[in-house]
Structure 1
Amino acid sequence: MTRSIGFVLYPDFQLLDAAGPATAFELAGRISGQDYALRMLSRHGGLVQSSSAIAVQTLPLDAAEVFDTLITVGGEGHGTAMHCADLRAFMQRQSRRTRRMCSVCSGAFVLAAAGLLQGRRVTTHWQQAQKFSHMFADITLEPDAIFIHDGPVWTSAGISAGIDLALALITQDHGEDVARQTARQMVVFYRRPGGQSQFSALLDMEGGGARFDALLGWIRAHLSQRLTIEVLAERMAMSPRHFSRAFQAAVGTSPAKAVERLRVEAAHERIVHSTTPIEAIAITTGFHDPERMRRAFVRVFGLPPQAIRRAAR
């Protein structure tokens, strides 16, 4: 059975938002022996220029077929695209006949403007999260997720997250083995779960104060140790009081919260990608007490470790 995949493009779209998922579907079709029919679409058809000045040939919306899956890409031009009446009408028509409506990055704005995300949990690129929440206050945005599947609607974060989304769709269509082989062909990870953070806690904290970057790296490498303010201050040859103030000013968070963020991130990675018992992970990441780790997970992710592991499986 051939499944048709439509990609909705517009001027100044992000090229990789379309090219990455399209490549995943192409390879999955070859591996499974059940090709995907890929169609690039735009309002009037013809060549549509991406934000990188590379143009893609498209079919007009009014010539479009009924698609199994419709993916609206993101890009600099999403602000104009979301106000296009023809595009909104097309999205609304397709939503009544299409099995899966998807977006990559700021393509979520186009789906939201067409009224297709009400009552849904969605995500978009973290840089666009505040703008999205302000414009669409009635939609539940989860700004740190890589992708979210809510009923027939799938939304994803920016650029490379579109590949994660495509691999999840391929898994739904053809199973884990085909998706895993596709990821191997693309030399990408199979597979980052949708709830995984869009960015690293370490990268997020580094750079605000270069004097503490080496310390943050040392903390991440020694999470199982006792990392009190006194221990960290001594490593920086500072008094605990001076260290705490300087760290907060430079990094933007307290030393205790920075340590917890790094521990939660490390524990999350092991919970999702290993079968190590949760109690053992609590010890090796410095929480020691599984209940303490559970409370930290609920604060950060809204879910306990056991629930995150079940969702990843």
Structure 2
Amino acid sequence: MTRPIAFIAYPDCQMLDISGPWQVFATANKLSGETRYRLSLAASAPGLITTNGGLAVKADCAVSELSHQPLDTLLVVGGSGVMQARFDPALTAAICKLAPQVRRLGSICSGAFLLAEAGLLDGCRVTTHWRRAEQLAREYPRLAVEPDALYLESRGRYTSAGVTAGIDLALSLVEADQGATLAGQIARELVMFLHRPGGQSQFSEMLRGQSRAGPLKRLLDVLHADPGGAHSLESMAAVMAVSPRHLTRLFKRHLAVTPGTYLTRLRLEQTRTALLDVPNVSLEQLAGRWGLGGAEQLRRLFQRHYGVSPSVYRQRFHHGRSEPLQGDTPCR
């Protein structure tokens, strides 16, 4: 069975938002030895489109022409040009016309703005590049924006975070269509891990702190140097010479989380690294080392934050053979 997939592009779109997912589907064709996916690139008009990196791509057809052919999946790519493209009435009208005809409608990165402007994401849980998430939530309050997710499916709509997360989304679509075996073969062919779970955070707490620290840098340096230390709200406030209430305000203003939430996420990051680097470690040992209570509490926190259990995470991302974790459910 051949599934037609179309990408919608526009001037100043992100090149990798096209080429990354496109290559996943193209590799599915190559490895299976048959045309599982028929790919096309559409724009307001056929012809060359200059991406925001300066490299030009060629649109096969106009978006309006897609309604005259069978179409399984429609994906809107992201890029800086979406801020102008979303206000093109002919483009949004054409996408609205196509939406009821396709089995799957989705966006990559900031392409969510175009679907949101067309009213096609109302009432859905969505994600986008973390840098644009706050703007998306503010400008389109009918959306439930989850800024940390890599990709999401909600009410038949698919959205993904920035650039490489589009590859993860494409792999998840191939797995749904063709099974995990082919998806795994594609991941190996492209020299990448099996696709990351959609609920996994877009970026680490280390990067979050470095990029948004502001006046909190002194305290974040202390926390990052010893995440498992006995850091109470009062002791953290003392490092900054402010009251606990003011410290909480600073965290919410600069990092959009409370001090306790930030510290928990930082500790979870340490356990995530240890799962891949330390053989035969148990959840109880990890929880004790990083101040995360007991094994069951750690398992629940890990599942909530990354969307998978610790055992499944180790199974998916460990380079070699992984033993089942003590204190967690067996890998399946």
TM range (shorter): 0.7 to 0.9
For 2:207 and 2:39, the matched residues in 1 are separated by: 36
Closer, same or farther: CA 275–179 of 1 in aligned 2, 3 Å: farther
The answer to whether the 8 Å contact 1:118/1:139 transfers is yes
Residue ranges of structure 2 left out of the alignment (5+ in a row): 314-328
Match of 2:63 in 1: 61
For 1:203 and 1:27, the matched residues in 2 are separated by: 32
Q: 1:287 aligns with which of 279, 292, 315?
A: 292
Match of 2:241, SS state, is helix
Match of 1:53, SS state, is coil
Q: 2:159 aligns with which of 155, 171, 174?
A: 155
Cα distance, 1:278 vs structure 2: 5.4
Closer, same or farther: CA 289–78 of 1 in aligned 2, 3 Å: same
For 2:102 and 2:237, the matched residues in 1 are separated by: 60
Match of 2:113 in 1: 109
CA distances 1:259-311 after superposition (whole Å, capped 9, x unpaired): 32212334467899x9987556534543132465478669x7498969x989x
Cα distance, 1:28 vs structure 2: 1.3
For 1:267 and 1:151, the matched residues in 2 are separated by: 33
Q: Residues 129-208 of structure 1 correspond to what in structure 2 (within 5 A)? A: 129-206=133-210, 208=213
Read off the aligned partner of 1:75 and give its amino acid letter.
G
The answer to whether the 8 Å contact 1:219/1:259 transfers is no
For 1:100 and 1:219, the matched residues in 2 are separated by: 45
Cα distance, 1:258 vs structure 2: 4.5
Closer, same or farther: CA 5–241 of 1 in aligned 2, 3 Å: closer
Match of 1:237 in 2: none
For 2:280 and 2:120, the matched residues in 1 are separated by: 38
User: How many residue pairs were aligned?
Assistant: 298
For 1:143 and 1:295, the matched residues in 2 are separated by: 21
Closer, same or farther: CA 150–30 of 1 in aligned 2, 3 Å: same
Read off the aligned partner of 2:57 and give its amino acid letter.
V
Cα distance, 1:184 vs structure 2: 1.0
Residue ranges of structure 1 left out of the alignment (5+ in a row): 234-239
Cα distance, 1:38 vs structure 2: 0.9
Closer, same or farther: CA 276–137 of 1 in aligned 2, 3 Å: farther
Match of 1:148, SS state, is strand
Q: Percent identity?
A: 35
The answer to whether the 8 Å contact 2:201/2:305 transfers is no
Read off the aligned partner of 2:52 and give its amino acid letter.
S
Read off the aligned partner of 1:187 and give its amino acid letter.
V
Q: Residues 78-97 of structure 1 correspond to what in structure 2 (within 5 A)? A: 78-97=82-101
For 1:151 and 1:177, the matched residues in 2 are separated by: 26
Cα distance, 1:19 vs structure 2: 0.5
The answer to whether the 8 Å contact 1:123/1:141 transfers is yes
TM-score (normalised: structure 1):
0.81
For 2:258 and 2:89, the matched residues in 1 are separated by: 48
CA distances 1:37-85 after superposition (whole Å, capped 9, x unpaired): 1101000111111011111111112332331111100011101111111
The answer to whether the 8 Å contact 1:294/1:304 transfers is no
Match of 1:7, SS state, is strand
Q: Does 1:40 align with 2:44?
A: no
Closer, same or farther: CA 270–51 of 1 in aligned 2, 3 Å: same
Query: CA RMSD of the aligned region, Å?
Result: 3.6
Closer, same or farther: CA 49–118 of 1 in aligned 2, 3 Å: same
Closer, same or farther: CA 278–213 of 1 in aligned 2, 3 Å: closer
For 1:145 and 1:134, the matched residues in 2 are separated by: 18
Q: Does 1:51 align with 2:52?
A: yes
Cα distance, 1:159 vs structure 2: 0.4
The answer to whether the 8 Å contact 2:200/2:305 transfers is no
Q: Does 1:18 align with 2:3?
A: no
The answer to whether the 8 Å contact 1:271/1:305 transfers is no
Cα distance, 1:206 vs structure 2: 3.2
TM-score (normalised: structure 2):
0.76
Read off the aligned partner of 1:265 and give its amino acid letter.
E
Closer, same or farther: CA 181–216 of 1 in aligned 2, 3 Å: farther
Match of 1:183, SS state, is helix
